[in-house]
Structure 1
């Protein structure tokens, strides 16, 4: 890169990329607040549903729902894998897939088949063709405002497999939003349900409910809503993580572009000074020859 014209073109090219990166950063900043709001609104609902489920399950029920029954993993496990549809979000998806493959290796050594419900184009592209895995559902293009209606199909497919004993355990994999700077890949078990509350303490109160309709219908509906809310919560949290990661990635790209431009300007001045020196030397040499 010795020519001045070539260096100028390079500087202009980096400047143009900087403008694009800055624009994408500002777009992500605008979208983060809406994504965080959706995430915070939906979270209490999922927590409250689980609390109600635990209270009902701790009563003197004749009906024991299969979602509460412990299962040993014999043949298959299932995952909802949630990723972004678009890239340019730093290491967000790469870190998620790294954690997922680590979990896959554990099951592969045991000869367990892995069945996947994929949400997000990046996950679909990455998981295509991985050994010992089977994609049973795939959703992409849900955008920045996911709707529960778009996710119900994926939830229904996995629950049917679980109820037919084709899957022994169900997990959700997504990027948990900690703050604007931190997003953590997370793998949580959904089924069978592991209570986060002290059931013994609840049971010690010897309470029970009058059910209308019966406890079986009530638990079936509640557990369906709970699992749907968990999947939805994971999706909206992943969207918030995506925008935060993209904002930081674009900011870093813009800052690095400025460093490159400064280095190119120094190089440009050095080449320019060299050319001026060469021209002066030629002029002086020509003058001395004439004399």
Structure 2
């Protein structure tokens, strides 16, 4: 068999093996996507309840600093209430950037990193004006290689993240906020829309005030107002126990739900991007195999035709 045919046959075999790998990876990513979507649907019920409570507190002005004893501390020592509500002049902005720990996820990481850089540039931030907390190795490596201020990194997030993982992140981030490492915090991540579409989001998380509650709601959560505006009624509450004790419980849970929701959303987008990328790779491999097979068959047919012609010519010469 000619050397050219051997080379084509080798490429076909190699591409078939690659196709088997990408198909298996697609199946794994699809399975992880289904698993995290089932987990997220259950979590969203809890998150919506916490958000509803905090929204009502904001509407009754309980989140206004003048109505709360800012010297109180949470029963959960990891997340002090004063740290979550303290407002001060913004000298430095914190960016909690959620990426993946690995590649082979299509444009997932590059889109988040590019959009985060655009966010920094649009807000006129210099390297002295921001600090980065990276959740995921790809983002951490990118920012560190470019000399950007990475104050914290967390690697090894589970395929379906647990609440315990996020509490550790929230504990570290709020401690940095209390220590005035930064004066406000944005969570930057990829929002899952569907299997083919994701959208970058930058959500302001700290400080938690009545004015910033609406900023944390997803884009699709806006309520359409009726043509006739309803009478505005400010809710009033009789609290038992005190407002401080209620906020000690609710606000840490709210902060944790924001970060946990962002990481879950980002992981869902990551699995969807990985499944799509592997499907595209498998489709491209199949197309290449078809093209190489056609090339191989044509070359083989040409070689056979040449051999028949030579045999026929030799036989004619002998006669």
* TM-score band, normalised by shorter chain: 0.7 to 0.9
Per the TM alignment, residue 108 of structure 1 is displaced from its structure 2 partner at its CA by 5.6
Q: Distance in 1 between matches of 2:193 and 2:303?
A: 54
| TM-score of the superposed pair, with normalisation by structure 2 | 0.80
Per the TM alignment, residue 91 of structure 1 is displaced from its structure 2 partner at its CA by 0.9
Structure 2 equivalent of residue 270 of structure 1: 298
Gaps of 5+ in 1: none
Q: Which moved more, 1:134-143 or 1:11-20?
A: 134-143
Structure 2 equivalent of residue 207 of structure 1: 236
Checking the alignment, whether the CA contact within 8 Å between 1:175 and 1:237 is kept in structure 2 is yes
1:139-150 alignment, distance < 5 Å: 139-150=154-165
Secondary structure, in 3 states, of the residue corresponding to 2:191?
strand
Structure 1 equivalent of residue 259 of structure 2: 231
Deviations 1:118-160 (A, max 9, x none): 21222222222333x3222222222212122222232122212
Checking the alignment, whether the CA contact within 8 Å between 1:73 and 1:168 is kept in structure 2 is yes
Secondary structure, in 3 states, of the residue corresponding to 2:185?
strand
Per the TM alignment, residue 260 of structure 1 is displaced from its structure 2 partner at its CA by 0.5
Structure 1 equivalent of residue 277 of structure 2: 249
1:62 corresponds to 2:77: no
Per the TM alignment, residue 277 of structure 1 is displaced from its structure 2 partner at its CA by 3.0
Per the TM alignment, residue 239 of structure 1 is displaced from its structure 2 partner at its CA by 1.8
Q: Distance in 2 between matches of 1:290 and 1:270?
A: 30
| TM-score of the superposed pair, with normalisation by structure 1 | 0.87
Q: How many residues align?
A: 286
Cα pair distance change 1:276/1:206, threshold 3 Å: closer
Secondary structure, in 3 states, of the residue corresponding to 1:104?
helix
Q: CA RMSD in A?
A: 2.7
Gaps of 5+ in 2: 71-81, 218-222, 224-229
Structure 1 equivalent of residue 25 of structure 2: 24
1:75-224 alignment, distance < 5 Å: 76-107=92-123, 109-110=125-126, 112-131=128-147, 133-193=148-208, 194-196=212-214, 204-205=233-234, 207-212=236-241, 214-224=242-252
